[in-house]
Structure 1
Amino acid sequence: MYTLLIVDDEPIIADGLYEVFQTVEDLELDIYKAYSGDEAYELMKKTRIDIVLTDIRMPGMNGLQLMEKIHRQWPKCRVIFLTGYNEFDYIYTAIQYEGVSYILKTEGYERVIGAVRNAVLEIEKSLRLDALLQEAEEQAGTAKELLRGNFLNGVIKGRFYKNEINQKQFDELGIKLNACDRVVMLVGRLDDLPKGLPYSEITRRIYNVSLIAGEFLSSAVKYAYFTDENSYMIWLIQPGENTWQECLIFVKGNIEFIQRSCKESFGTIVSFALDDGPADWIELPDRFNTLKMVLSYRFGHDTAVLLTGRGIIKEDLRDTQEKSVEKLSLNRMKFEMLAETLEYGTEEDFFALMEELTRNLRTVRSMHNIVALEQYVSIALVVLSYINRWNILGKVAFRIGIHKLMRIDEHESWDDAVNYLYRLGSILFDIQRQEREKRAQDVVGFIQKHINDNIHIQDELTLIRLADLVHFNPSYLSRLFKQVTGMNISDYISDIRVKKAKQMLGNPDVKINTVAEALGYGTAANFTRFFKKMTNMTPQEYRDFVIGRHKDKA
C-alpha cells in the first residue's frame, strides 16, 4: 500500500484526479488531495507520502518549492509534475532531482495513471536495496562472529533440534568443526573479580583469556570459542590429526598452563571445567549445565579451579535419585522456549517440546521425587504465568479443573499429571484461536462502523487514518480487513457509498448535488463518474429506473 498526494490549486482538477485514482483497481493506493503547496506540506509533516502528483505553478508555495521540502521530509518520495507547454524552464530545474518526472496536462488520465504506476514500480525496485545488501555482504565478516556466537549459544541452550545443527550451518557461519562428529566442552570463568569492575574491563579480560587459550590449544585441536550472557567462556573442541584420547590429554595438560599464563600476564584468575568425554551436539545443553555446577563445586579455599569430568558432581547425586530421573531435562532454556511457543501460538512446537520434556517424567515411579517435582512445576509455572498474563482464568476453569495445576496430590501418577498438562495446553491454544478471531472481528467491526458513520468525510476514510484509530500499521490493517471480510477496505467504502447513494437517489426530492455532498464528493461530476463506474448507470439513469419500477408496480 502506497500513499498518493494530489496537489493542484484548481479544485476541479484535484478532485477529478482524486476520483479517477479511487477507481484504479490494480494499484493499492491510499489517496490524499490538497489545494495548495502549503496545505500539502502540512499534510506531509503528519503522514508518510510515497508519490506526489502536483501542479508546478501554484500561488504561494509552487511545485518546485514543494519538491524541495518533500525531499527533506521524505527523501524516497517520487514527484510527478503536471505541466503546461510553457513551463519547460521549471521542468529543467525539476528533473535534476532523483525520482522526479513530468507529464503534460493535455495527455489525459491514462497517461497520468501510467506515470503513477511507473512511480510505484520504481519504489518497489528501490526496496530491494541492492547496493545496501552488497555493502552488508562486504561487512558480513564482522557480523559473522556475532552470528556464530548467537548460534553456538543456541546450541548449548537447547534452542535447536538435531537436524538444525548441520554442516551447512557450520560452513555458513565459519565454524571450523565437523557437525557429524562429537565434541568435548571446556568451560571457563573469571574468579575473584573486584567489586564494581566495569563491564568493559571484564570484557577485556575475557578477550585476553581467549587469546592465551588459543595460543596453547590451536596447534593440536580444532575448536570454536564463544561466551554466553553470563560471561562464561566456552570452547567446543574436536581432535586435529590426533585421536580423542590424545586430544583430551592435550587439552587437560594445557589448561594449567593457560591458568598460570593468565595470572602472570595480567593478574586474572580463571577456573576451568573440562567434560570427561566427547558428546553429541544435542547433548550439549545438559553437559553445559553440569559443567557450570562443577565450577561452583569448590574444594577448600582454592580459587583457581581445574576440574576434569562431570563424575565429580555426579557421584554425590547418584544415590539420591532413581535411574530414570537422571534422564529428566531441567534445562532452563527449554522452559523458556516452551513459554515462547505458548506466547507466539506455535502449537506444533509447543507439543514437540512438551514431548521432549515429559517423555521420561512419565516413567518416574515415586510421586515424592523432588527432581520430577521440579520438572512438573517448571512446566506448570509456564502455563500458570500465561493464564495470569492474559487474564483467562475464568475461561480455562470453565473447561478443566484448574486446581490440579499446582497440586501434585490431585494426580494418581506422573503419567496422569503429564496427560493433564497436555489437555490444558490444548485448551489454551483453543482459547487463543477464539480470542484472535474475536479481536479481529472487533477491530474490523469498529472500522466498519467508523466508515459508515463518516462516509461523508473523506479525510476520515484514508487508510492511515483508519489504521491510527486502532493503532495498527496500515498494511497490516489492510490485510486483516481482507482476511476477515474477503474484500479490500477501499472496496468496502465504495460498496457503502453505492448503497447509500442508491437509497438517497430513490427519493426524487433529494438533489444529486446533495447526494454527492453526503457521500464526500466535491462535485456532482465526480460523484457521477464514480457511480457510473460502479453501476454502469449515471445517478439520473438509476433514479429514473427506480422511479419507473415503482410506477410499474403501482
Structure 2
Amino acid sequence: MYRLLLIDNEPFIVDGLYDLFLELESVELDVLKAYSASEALALLSAHKIDIVIADIRMPGMSGLELQQIIKKQWPFCKTIFLTGYNDFSYVQTAMRHGGLDYVLKTEGDERILEAFHHAIAALQEEWEKDQLMEEARKELHLAKPLLQKEYLLSLLNGERLQSEGIRHRFAELGISLSTADPVLIVVGRVDEWPGDYSFADRELLTFAIHNIAQEYFSNCRIAVLSYDRAKFIWLIQPQEGDGANMSAFVQRVHETLDSVQSASRGVLHLPISFAISGSFCSWSELPSAFNRLIRLLGRGLGLGRESLLTDLPPVERSPGTASKGVHSSGDNASLAGQRRNIPLLESYLEGGDAGEFASLCSGMLQSAAHDPLHYTEMYYSIATMILSYLNRLEATQDLLEQQDFDGLMRTDDHPNWEAAAHYFENVVALLFAKRHDEQEEKSNSVVTRLHLYIKEHLHEDLSLTKLSEVTNLSPSYLSRLYKQTTGHGLAEYIAERRVDKATSLLTETAMKIHEVAREVGLEHNYFIKMFKKHTHMTPQEYRELKVRVL
C-alpha cells in the first residue's frame, strides 16, 4: 500500500484531488490531506509518506523548503508540484533539488494521474536498485555463520536430507564441503569452564577453538559449528583430488585432534574431549552417526576429561553390541528427528494448514509405529499439542458435542497408526472450521460497525486513515479485509452511500446543490462529477427528472 499526502492552501483543490484518488482502484492507496504547510508537517511526522502532491507556493513555507524537510524525513518519498503558468523558473529549481514532476493547475485529472503513476513507477524502481541489494548482501554476509550453523544442524538432525538442493545451498552459504563425497564427523566438548567465565567469554573461547582447528586442518575441507554451551561439531573431508587412503586419513585426523587438545590446554587453558566417527559416512548416514557420537561422548571413558574416543563403524562392532540397548542407534536417530518435527507440526496447526499437518502427522506416527514406547511418546506429543490448541480456542459446548475429544488421551481407541492419524486429521479439521467461522464472524462484525459509522458520518472525513482509527486496524489491512469480506472496495462503497444519500436529499428536500454536496462530505465540483459518473446525469438533471415523474 502507498500513502499519498495532498497539500494546498486552497481547500477545493485538496478536496477535489482527495476524491479523485479515492476512486482509484488500480493502486492500494491511503490518502491524507493538509490545507497548510503546518498541517503537512504534522502528518509527515506521524506517518510514513510515499508520494506528496503539493502547491509549489504556499503561505508560511515555500514548496522548496517543504521538499527539503520531506527529503530528510522520507528519503524515498516522491514530490509532485502543482503550479501556475508564472512559476516555471521556480519549478526548475525544485526539480533540480529532487522534485519528481510538476502539473499545471489548469491541466486535468489525466495529467495528475499520469504524474502519480510516474511516481509509483519511480518508487518501485528505486526499491529494486542495486544499492538495496548490496545492503542485503552485506547483511547476508554478516549473518552467514549463523545461517551455515542452522543449515548444517538441520542436516545433522535429518531434516533436509531428501532435498536435491543441498549442493546449491552449500554454494550459497559458502560451505566448502562436497555433498558428493562422504564426511568425517567430530563432536567436541569443553570439559570444564573456569567458574568466572561469562557467556560472552565462553563464546569467544569456542571461536578460538574453531580457529585452532582450522589452522591444524588447513589442508582439509572443514565446517565448524557450535552445538550447545559446551559442545561443538566439525565436519571434515580431504581436499578435492587429495587421493588419500580413507583409513589413513581417519588416523591422521585422530592424531591431529590430540595436537588440538594440547594447544587448547596450553594456550586457552581449556580441557577438551573429542568423539570421532571411526570411518567416513555418507550424508544420508549423517544423523545416526551424529547421534552415536553424542551418546559416546556422554558416556565417556576413563577420566572423563580430555577424552579422545572413536565410534566404530557398525561392521566392526562385536556381536551383540547393537542389541544391548532396547533400541538401535538408527531408531533413536529417527525418533530424535521426529521429535524435532513437533514445532513444525505445531506451526502447521497454528497456521491453519490442514494438508501439511495431516501429511507430517501421518509420517511421524508411521515412523514410530514399530516400537510401542516410541509410538506412545509420539502419539501423546501430538495429542497434547492439539489439546493445548483446543483450550486456546476456547471450545464451546456445541463444538465439544461434535467430536469425541476424549479420544485424544486414549491410544487404545485407535487400532493402528493409520486410524490415529485419521482421528487427528478429523479433530484438526473441526478446529480449523471453528476458527474459520470465528474469523468470518469477526470480519463481518468489523464491516457492520464500519457501515454504521459511514452512514452516520457521510458528511465527515472518511479517509482510510480515519476509518482505521475507528476499527483499530491498520489502513492497508482494513482495506484488504473489507474487500475480502464484501467483494468490493471500501472507497466504492462510500461513494455509493454518498450518491444514495444525495439522491434522497435531491428528491425529498429543497436544499441547494452545494448544500447537498456538503451533506455528503464532498467538494461541490467534485460532487457533480462523481454524481454524474454514478447516475449518468447531473444532480440538477436528476432533481428535475424526479419532479416530472412525481
- Fold match by TM threshold 0.5: yes
Alpha carbons of 1:448 and 1:308: their partners in 2 closer, same or farther (altered >3 Å)? Answer: farther
Shift of 1:267: 0.9
Does the residue aligned with 2:106 lie in a helix, a strand or coil?
helix
Say if 1:186 and 1:234, in contact at 8 Å, map to a contact too: yes
Asked whether the 8 Å contact 1:186–1:236 carries over to 2, the reply is: yes
Alignment of 1:29-428 (within 5 A): 29-88=29-88, 90-137=90-137, 141-160=141-160, 162-219=162-219, 221-228=220-227, 230=229, 232-240=231-239, 241-299=243-301, 301-309=303-311, 315=321, 318-321=324-327, 329-331=335-337, 332-364=339-371, 369-392=372-395, 397-408=400-411, 410-412=413-415, 416-428=419-431
Say which SS state the counterpart of residue 6 (structure 1) adopts.
Answer: strand
1:497 aligns with 2:498: yes
- Cα offsets for 1:102-128 (capped at 9, x unmatched): 333233433233222222221221121
Sequence identity percentage: 35
Q: Secondary structure at the match of 2:96?
A: coil
Q: Which moved more, 1:407-416 or 1:111-120?
A: 407-416
Query: How much does 1:131 deviate?
Result: 1.9
Encode CA deviations 1:429-470: one digit per residue, 9 max, x unaligned: 444444444444444444334333332212xx2223333444
Using structure 1 for the length normalisation, give the TM-score: 0.87
Is the Cα contact below 8 Å between 2:273 and 2:308 reproduced in 1?
yes
Change (3 A) 1:488 1:26: same
The equivalent residue for 1:513 is: 514
Which one is further off, 345-354 or 187-196?
345-354
Per-residue deviation at 1:204?
A: 1.9
1:193, distance to aligned residue in structure 2 (A): 0.6
SS in structure 2 opposite 1:330? helix
Q: What is the root-mean-square deviation of aligned Cα atoms in Å?
A: 3.2
Tell me, in whole angstroms, the C-alpha distance in 1 between the residues paired with 2:457 and 2:229. 56
Q: CA deviation at 1:159?
A: 4.0
Contact 1:324 1:360 in 2 (8 A): no
Q: Where do 5+ consecutive residues of structure 1 fail to align? A: none
**Conserved 8 A contact 1:345-1:429:** yes
Shift of 1:541: 1.8
Output one character per residue of 1:519-553: Cα deviation in whole Å (capped at 9) or x when no partner: 11133x3211111122211112222333434x3xx
- Cα deviations across residues 134-192 of structure 1 (Å, max 9, x unaligned)? 35446755443333222212322444351255222222222222324443322112121
In structure 1, what is the equivalent of residue 548 of structure 2? 548
Q: What pairs with 1:533-544 in structure 2 (closer than 5 Å)? A: 533-544=533-544
Tell me the distance in 1 between the aligned counterparts of 2:277 and 2:199: 28
Q: Deviations over 1:73-103 (max 9, x none)?
A: 3232222222223334543542332234333
Alignment partners' CA distance in 2, 1:322 and 1:289: 11
| Counterpart code for 1:454 | H
Mapped to 2, the partners of 1:302 and 1:144 lie a distance apart of 34
Residue 453 (structure 2) aligns with:
450
Question: 8 Å contact 1:67–1:79 — kept in the other structure?
Answer: yes
Which stretch shifts more, 118-127 or 88-97?
A: 88-97
Cα deviations across residues 196-238 of structure 1 (Å, max 9, x unaligned)? 422222122112211222233343x433222235453112233
Aligned-partner Cα distance in 2 for 1:487–1:425: 32
3-state SS, counterpart of residue 223 of structure 1: strand
Q: 1:172 to 1:527 in 2, by over 3 A?
A: same
CA distance in 2, matches of 1:404, 1:208: 53
Preserved contact between residue 23 and residue 530 of structure 1 (Cα < 8 Å): no
Which amino acid in 1 is paired with 2:351? Answer: Y
* Letter matched to residue 376 of structure 2: L
Instruction: Provide the rounded CA distance (Å) in 2 between the counterparts of 1:147 and 1:40.
Output: 44
- The aligned runs of 1:428-507 (5 Å cut-off) are 428-458=431-461, 461-507=462-508
Task: Judge conservation of contact 1:328–1:357 (CA < 8 Å) in 2.
Answer: no
Secondary structure of 1:363 counterpart: coil
Which deviates further from its counterpart, 120-129 or 140-149?
A: 140-149
Residues 363 and 414 of structure 1 are in contact (CA less than 8 Å); yes or no, is this contact kept in structure 2? no
C-alpha change, 1:322 and 1:412, in structure 2 (3 Å) is farther
Partner of 2:8 in structure 1? 8
Contact 2:288 2:330 in 1 (8 A): no
Structure 2 unaligned runs (5+)?
none
CA distance in structure 1 between the partners assigned to 2:291 and 2:501 by the alignment? 68
Distance 1:88 1:328, change over 3 A: closer
TM-score (norm 2): 0.87
Contact 1:224 1:237 in 2 (8 A): yes
**For residues 307-328 of structure 1, what are the alpha-carbon distances to aligned partners after superposition, in whole Å with 9 as ceiling and x for unaligned?**
222889x959744359996575
Letter in 1 for 2:363: E
Letter in 2 for 1:261: A
Distance 1:70 1:371 in 2: 63
Q: Say which SS state the counterpart of residue 87 (structure 1) adopts.
A: helix
Partner of 1:531: 531
The structure-2 alpha-carbon separation of the partners of 1:449 and 1:210, relative to structure 1 and needing over 3 Å to count, comes to same
More off after superposition, 501-510 vs 50-59: 501-510
SS at match of 1:359: helix
Asked if 2 retains the 8 angstrom alpha-carbon contact of 1:158 and 1:334, the reply is no
Give, as a single letter, the amino acid of the residue that structure 2 aligns with 1:349.
E
Report if the CA contact (8 A) 1:10-1:35 is conserved. Answer: yes
Instruction: For residue 478 of structure 1, report the CA deviation from its aligned partner.
Output: 2.4
Matched to 2:476, the amino acid is S
- 1:508–1:543 CA contact under 8 A, matched in 2: no
- Structure 2: how far apart are the matches of 1:429 and 1:14? 47
Preserved CA contact (<8 Å) 1:185 1:275: yes
Equivalent residue of 1:195, what SS?
A: coil
